[in-house]
Amino acid sequence: MTALLLLGAANATELTIPHELYELDNGLTVILAEDHDVPIVQVNVWYHVASKDEVAGRTGFAHLFEHLMFQGSVNNDQDYFAPLQEVGARVNGTTNVDRTNYFEGVPAEYLPLALWGEADRMGWLVVDEDRLANQQDVVRNERRQRYENPPYGTAWVTLLANVFPEGHPYHHPTIGNHEDLEAATLEDVKAFYDTYYVPNNAVLVVAGDFDPDATKGLIDQYFGEIPRAADPTHATAEPVVMTEEVVVRQIEEGVPHQKVWIAWPSPALHAPGDAELDLASSVLSSGKESKLYSALVLDQQIAKEVEAYQVSFGLGSMYIIEATAAAGHDTDELVTSIDAVVDTFIAEGPTDEQIATGVTNYEVNFLRSMATVSGKANKLNSYYYFQGDPDWGAEDLARYTGCTAASVKAAVTETLGSDGRLVLHIVPPAEEAN
Backbone angles phi, psi at 170, to 5 degrees: -100, 10
The per-residue pLDDT for 79 is 85
Whether 5-223 and 245-431 share one fold: the answer is yes
Rounded CA separation 176/151 (Å): 19
Rounded CA separation 11/39 (Å): 28
- 420, 244 contact by CB (below 8 A): yes
Residues of the chain with pLDDT under 70: 1-14, 431-434
pLDDT digits 0-9 by tens, 370-409: 889 999 999 999 999 999 999 999 999 999 999 999 999 9
Rounded CA separation 399/387 (Å): 14
The per-residue pLDDT for 81 is 86
Measuring CA to CA, how many Å separate 295 from each of 181, 215, 289, 347?
44, 56, 9, 17
- Residue closest to 207 by CA, chosen among 31, 85, 388: 31
Rounded CA separation 140/177 (Å): 8
Q: Which residues of 124-142 are buried (b: 16+ CB within 10 A; e: fewer)?
A: ebebeeebbeebbeebbee
- Residue closest to 88 by CA, chosen among 36, 31, 41, 35: 41
- 421, 264 contact by CB (below 8 A): yes
pLDDT digits 0-9 by tens, 344-373: 999 999 999 999 999 999 999 999 988 899
> 3.30.1180.20, 3.30.200.20, 3.30.830.10, 1.10.1050.10: which CATH number matches 245-431?
3.30.830.10
pTM to 2 decimal places: 0.93
- Residue closest to 173 by CA, chosen among 187, 191, 161, 185: 161
> 1.10.760.10, 3.40.470.10, 3.40.50.2000, 3.30.830.10: which CATH number matches 5-223?
3.30.830.10
The per-residue pLDDT for 432 is 52
Domain extents in the chain: 5-223, 245-431
